[in-house]
Amino acid sequence: LPTHYTLPSGDKIPAVALERNQVGEAVKTALKAGYRHIDGAWIYRNEEEVGQALQESEVPREEVFITSKLWNTFHDPSAVESALDDSLAKLNTSYLDLYLMHWPLAADKSKKGYNASLTEDPYPTWQKLEEMVEKGKVKNIGVSNFNVRRLERLFSKPLKIQPAVNQVEISYHIPQSKLLAYARSKSLLLEAYSPLGGDGKVGETLKLPVVKKIAEETGMTPAQVVISWAVQRGVVVLPKSVTPSRVVENLQVQALPQHLFDELEEAATSHAPYPRLNPSKGWGLDFDIFDGDE
């Protein structure tokens, strides 16, 4: 399996990352185990802790691929740079390897409303992100939770810098085949969050007969089977765990024999997709953030 993919900038991105929603010791365990890709976000409110763990790990900064995300309340072009500076300061670094728009939603600071024009057209925010690359504060930029309709909108603009990745929920339950095909057509890498199934569905994923069967045949654990399948599909995988043995286990992936890969791909793409994480209602939006998807 590939250990890295290449971004439009020529930078290499490690194929398996630690999602650092819950951190501290997990980051240190991960760096010790050989992870060199840490995926986080301003909104996780733990960037200081991550910065400290990175420092204490003594792994040189340039060896670690660090991602953060612009929160919804900072989409106004005038708010982007200070939001990024805050993440940089907390992470105690002068640059990020990757900076993503966390959601295609330009929310008001009050959290009550949103800027419809910036939500529908992320280009002004994107231009500011491009400026951040030019200033050397971030090496690559991308988006998260964009569906095909929203990506098409962004790609229709005169982009100076191509989006490097789109980070979305991808798992057995929601394999995102159409989005993946679209992304491939644009040389856009997809990153999978909740790759084991996400909240409440991990146990179910790891007990699926097809996953268990492949695990037995290959000597891998069920988690390694689904993570390997994702990397084999060309996706960056962001498993999260605060359990040291699992952090280690999740990095040890290997290619599935083609017929077993095909079997899992077929099983994942032939059932109706399960409901995915969708905060539209929780955020009180009067539209669905994934509108336009079937």
Active site residues: 44
Comparison of 73 and 167: residue with beta carbon closer to ligand A2P: 167
Q: Does 145 bind ligand A2P (CB under 6 A)?
A: no
DSSP 8-state secondary structure symbol assigned to residue 256: P
CB-based contact 76:106 (threshold 8 Å):
yes
- Show contacts with ligand A2P in window 32-91 (CB under 6 A): none
Dist. CA 109–CA 116, nearest whole Å: 14
Which one among 183, 250, 251, 268 touches ligand A2P, defined by CB under 6 A?
250
Cα–Cα separations (whole angstroms), residue 42 to 83, 85, 276: 8, 11, 22
For residue 207 the two structure tokens come to 């007990």
Nearer to ligand A2P, 131 or 204 (CB): 204
Burial letters for 173-202: b for 16+ Cβ neighbours within 10 Å, e otherwise? bbbbeebbebbeeeebbbbbbbbbbbeebb
Shortest distance in whole angstroms from residue 81 CB to ligand A2P: 31
What distance in Å separates the CA atoms of residue 183 and residue 2, rounded to the nearest whole number?
18
Cβ 227 to ligand A2P shortest distance, Å: 8
Report the DSSP beta bridge partners of residue 193: 169, 238
Pairing of strands 12-14, 18-19: unpaired
Q: Which of 183, 223, 230, 268 binds ligand A2P (CB under 6 A)?
A: 223
- Between residues 157 and 207, which has the closer beta carbon with respect to ligand A2P? 207
Q: Could you say which of 29, 194, 228, 232 contacts ligand A2P (CB under 6 A)?
A: 194
Contacting ligand A2P (CB under 6 A), which of 68, 100, 240, 251? Answer: 240
Residue 202 as a binder of ligand A2P (CB under 6 A): the answer is: yes
Decide: is 198 part of the binding site for ligand A2P (CB under 6 A): yes
Number of residues located near ligand A2P, criterion CB under 6 A: 16
Interface with ligand A2P, residue 241, by CB under 6 A? yes
| 66 or 223: CB nearest ligand A2P | 223
Q: Which amino acid is at 125?
A: T
The piece of 55-63, 86-94, 191-199, 228-236 that touches ligand A2P (CB under 6 A) is 191-199
Backbone angles phi, psi at 167, to 5 degrees: -95, 120
Q: Show Cβ contacts of residue 17 under 8 Å, excluding neighbours closer than 6 positions.
A: 35, 37, 38, 39, 65, 67, 191, 236, 237, 238
Shortest Cβ distance from residue 108 to ligand A2P (Å)? 29
Residues in the chain: 294
Q: Does 239 bind ligand A2P (CB under 6 A)?
A: yes
Smallest distance from ligand A2P to CB 259, Å: 24
243: contact with ligand A2P by CB under 6 A: yes
The rounded distance, in Å, linking the Cα atoms of 38 and 59 is 13
Distance CA 151, CA 185 (A): 12
Among 68, 150, 195, 230, binds ligand A2P (CB under 6 A): 195
Contact residues: ligand A2P, CB under 6 A:
194-198, 202, 206, 223, 239-243, 246, 249-250
